[in-house]
Amino acid sequence: MTPLVLATGNPDKLRELSPFFANLDLELVAVRALVPGWEVEETGATLEANATLKARAAVTATRLPAVADDTGLFVDALGGAPGVRSSRFAGEGATYADNVARLLAELEPVPAEERGARFRTVAALARPDGALERFEGVLEGRILRAPRGKGGFGYDPVFLVEERGRTLAELPLEEKNRISHRAGAFRAASAWLAERPGWLKSAGV
């Protein structure tokens, strides 16, 4: 099986993302299993830039093909904020609760019909010869005035998935993982790889 390195320090991500590659002849391996303590600074101005720099950093560290993702919450009434800064919206070292509190405070004067938002995920596949492919997943929703539900993480409790009438924190995890932005991006990456069985191994020549 071809190894594909997952460029994240978050062990939960390996569990969430492995099923998307289960039908392919590859083994998803956490970068820290190969390079203990691996870390990279997310200095990009866009999700595309961050996903790319993480995937390329993992390729450099392991000399193997790698995949990385970057996600942001884009709120219409805030001109697309917090976007690429979603994990540190309330400042460096902010907790999920701090970020949600800041989001609700900024949206306080905004009426329900103007609280549209979307999660976007960009996944980047990078190969040691420099070849790069990117994939996107989007989930549309609306920001509530107060948190609802105990599941998920991050902004899930205030993100209403309108057609289901529930927040992401109220949906069963399997359902969230079926409809999510991350699922969309990784399903696209997996489908693309399925059509190109030699891509991970090839040097592109």
Give the interface with ligand IMP as residue ranges (CB under 6 A). Answer: 70-73, 86-87, 99, 152-156, 168, 180
Q: Which residue is nearest to ligand IMP (CB)?
A: 154
Q: Is 36 exposed, middle or buried (0-12, 13-18, 19+ CB in 10 A)?
A: exposed
Residue 79 or 204 having the CB closest to ligand IMP: 79
**Nearest distance, CB of residue 96 and ligand IMP, angstroms:** 6
Residue 158 to residue 101: CA distance in whole angstroms? 10
User: For residue 54, what are the contacts with CB-CB under 8 A and spacing of at least 6?
Assistant: 7, 8, 40, 42, 68, 69, 70, 124
**Nearest distance, CB of residue 65 and ligand IMP, angstroms:** 20
Residue 63 or 145 having the CB closest to ligand IMP: 145
Task: Confirm whether 156 is a catalytic residue.
Answer: no
Q: Which runs of E-coded beta strand occur in 54-201?
A: 66-75, 82-83, 116-126, 132-143, 159-161, 166-167
Residue 3 or 88 having the CB closest to ligand IMP: 88
**Nearest distance, CB of residue 35 and ligand IMP, angstroms:** 19
Catalytic-role residue among 69, 70, 76, 156: 70
User: For residue 57, what are the contacts with CB-CB under 8 A and spacing of at least 6?
Assistant: 7, 40
At 151, the amino acid letter reads G
**Nearest distance, CB of residue 127 and ligand IMP, angstroms:** 22
Residue 112 or 173 having the CB closest to ligand IMP: 173
Report, as residue numbers or ranges, the catalytic residues: 70
